[in-house]
Amino acid sequence: MLVRVLADVAQQYGVSPEALLGDRITVMCAPPFEVRISLLEYADLFDRAIRLTGEPALGLICGLSAHDASYDLMAPLVSHMSSLRRAIQEVRQFSALILAGVHVQLSEPAESARLTWRLPRLDRPFDRTCSELTMGGVMRMLRAFGCTPTDIRAVYFEHRRPAHDQAYDRAFEGTARFSQDMTGVELGPEVLDRPNLHGNPALQDVLHAEAERTLARLTRPTRVADRMRSYLRTHDGCRPPKMGLVAHALGMSVRSLRRRLDEEGESYRGVVQEALRERACRMLRNPERTVQEVGAALGFADVTVFHRAFKRWTGATPADYRERASLRDPPWR
């Protein structure tokens, strides 16, 4: 969704989607619209768009002026709510449709309402761009619900005042505050329950149900092997679970599980061994656990057997892996 937002606004600057996305355009801007890329990939793409357009405030502009259709389901989902308070509840529930790892909070201290956002971070300039994109989108929503400049008391950013601060003055009309301890907006409390002129409860019910289905598809792996991996990552037993238990957890029979894995070119044993390897590596990065304790936690009765299995999985002994991991990623946490 955000790729199409970026492509839409870049096009307004004369940068075609083909020039921005290259051969990835068929993946990113064509149905189905549920393809995901990593935040790092999106940051690189945004940096490219800023270079091509020459617009340092592109994040703000994307949030404020991208076509509603670029936001796919989210734009009508929110716009047909009966009030801003209800719209914020929808944004909190379905923010992952736009960007994974976003946390939205509405608090109401005395005589004010404060909407804050905790965003995923990369510790690079894109963090500021992501905040700009988010707050541009928030302002767009507030205006759709009839908020006027007098309703918006302050807009808070964690980053320092940027060189392109004139764009903030235009977007937020002098209410932007920098170097704050949060990203968010402070409003007059009366705006939260002001009736929405465009609210349509019947249509919103349909959109809400579709949003739930879409979110379920996005958050649940579709391949049985991937669903099995997700299940095994949460399994805390000292031994790998029996195939019948895994099949039951995935809502299928043992025979169906075996057949689906075979169709995907996977095997039950192979996926289990992969999960054991991941768990062993994670536990070995904790210096407070001995190798013997790790082996026992994974269900190996003899540390020698664990040594042989781990070397077969990784090509290194547990001790060698632990030493290399401590040099690469200190301290363990």
Q: Which domain CATH number covers 315? A: 1.10.10.60
Tell me which residue range forms the domain holding 98: 2-211
Q: What is the pLDDT of residue 105?
A: 93
**Splitting the chain (333 residues) into consecutive groups of 10 residues, what average pLDDT does each group show?**
92 93 70 72 93 96 92 90 94 89 90 93 90 95 93 96 95 95 94 92 92 82 79 72 86 89 92 88 84 88 90 90 68 37
Q: What is the pLDDT of residue 298?
A: 86
How many angstroms separate the CA atoms of 57 and 115, rounded? 22
Q: What is the pLDDT of residue 186?
A: 97
The reply to whether 42 and 75 lie within a common domain is yes
Q: What is the pLDDT of residue 330?
A: 44
In a domain, 53, yes or no: yes
In a domain, 23, yes or no: yes
CB-based burial of residue 25 (10 Å sphere; 0-12 exposed, 13-18 middle, 19+ buried)? middle
Q: Which of 211, 240, 263 is where one domain is finished? A: 211
Q: What is the pLDDT of residue 237?
A: 63
In a domain, 203, yes or no: yes
In a domain, 219, yes or no: no
CB-based burial of residue 249 (10 Å sphere; 0-12 exposed, 13-18 middle, 19+ buried)? middle
The reply to whether 188 and 323 lie within a common domain is no
pLDDT tens, 54-87? 999 999 999 999 998 888 889 999 999 999 999 9
The reply to whether 63 and 205 lie within a common domain is yes
pTM for the model: 0.66
The reply to whether 196 and 256 lie within a common domain is no
Report phi then psi at 288, rounded to 5. Answer: -80, -10
In a domain, 216, yes or no: no
In a domain, 251, yes or no: yes
The reply to whether 157 and 66 lie within a common domain is yes
How many angstroms separate the CA atoms of 207 and 23, rounded? 32
The reply to whether 54 and 175 lie within a common domain is yes
Instruction: Give how far Cα 164 sits from Cα of 4, 30, 33, 63, 143, Å.
Output: 24, 33, 33, 16, 23
The reply to whether 165 and 54 lie within a common domain is yes
**Mean pLDDT computed over every residue of the chain:** 88
Nearest CA-CA partner of 43 in 99, 85, 88, 97: 99
The reply to whether 232 and 184 lie within a common domain is no
Q: Which of 166, 189, 211 is where one domain is finished? A: 211
The reply to whether 192 and 317 lie within a common domain is no
Q: What is the pLDDT of residue 221?
A: 62
How many angstroms separate the CA atoms of 248 and 228, rounded? 11
Q: What is the pLDDT of residue 27?
A: 59
Overall number of domains in the chain: 2
In a domain, 333, yes or no: no
Buried b (16+ CB within 10 A) or exposed e, 157-169: bbeeebeeeebbe
The reply to whether 245 and 313 lie within a common domain is yes
